[in-house]
Structure 1
């Protein structure tokens, strides 16, 4: 039977604003300071904060925190620049912390 509820999405845990589609997950094997995180190719209904250089597990990156456009809750970050060639695939991608998003339409 076909799924008639629409695409499976992830929403902000605080206000249920949709922030990404399940189909946009690149990896579920990311780690944030507070636990697991997912790497997404696209996100929606988010606001980017100022860019900053940060030393992460995989080296130095320029990132921008991303927040829910409705409630302002910080949900993760966007990779603006990777300084190591092996990390360039992350540029332009968004990491959302697993405990800050909830499944919708599953």
Structure 2
């Protein structure tokens, strides 16, 4: 396997809980009120040091979206998903943005978030729009 070149972010950052690779900056948070199967998730305008999975249509709480899972470039852990396409006009703002699941990342202060005891069947999505 070749050498991995990871982007190093400055300031307050979110990183992979497993390996510490930088994933996103606090400055790029669009919303902190998303939900996933394991609890909270954050919507970011961009994420770095990730690779993309296959495009799939996925039923979310706000309808069907075309998404790709995103993986940490260093350890390969699934850390969230990226919205490729939204069918509903009021969901178009999500296109091109990435969701990081809070329990899979470390916060800017190094804290870890525990998965919620409440599961969210039926998909993941925002609950604030």
| TM-score normalised per structure 2 | 0.76
* Pairing partner for 1:17 from 6, 15, 21: 21
Distance 2:103 2:27 in 1: 19
Distance 1:28 1:105 in 2: 16
Runs of 5+ consecutive residues of structure 2 not aligned to the other structure: 1-9, 111-129
Is 1:103 aligned to 2:69, yes or no?
no
The match for 2:39 is: 35
| TM-score normalised per structure 1 | 0.92
Equivalent position SS for 1:50: coil
The match for 2:89 is: 85
What RMSD, in angstroms, separates the aligned Cα atoms of the two structures?
Answer: 1.1
Contact 1:7 1:105 (8 Å CA) reproduced? no
Higher strand proportion:
1
Structure 1 residue 103 displacement after superposition: 2.2
Distance 2:75 2:11 in 1: 23
The match for 1:3 is: none
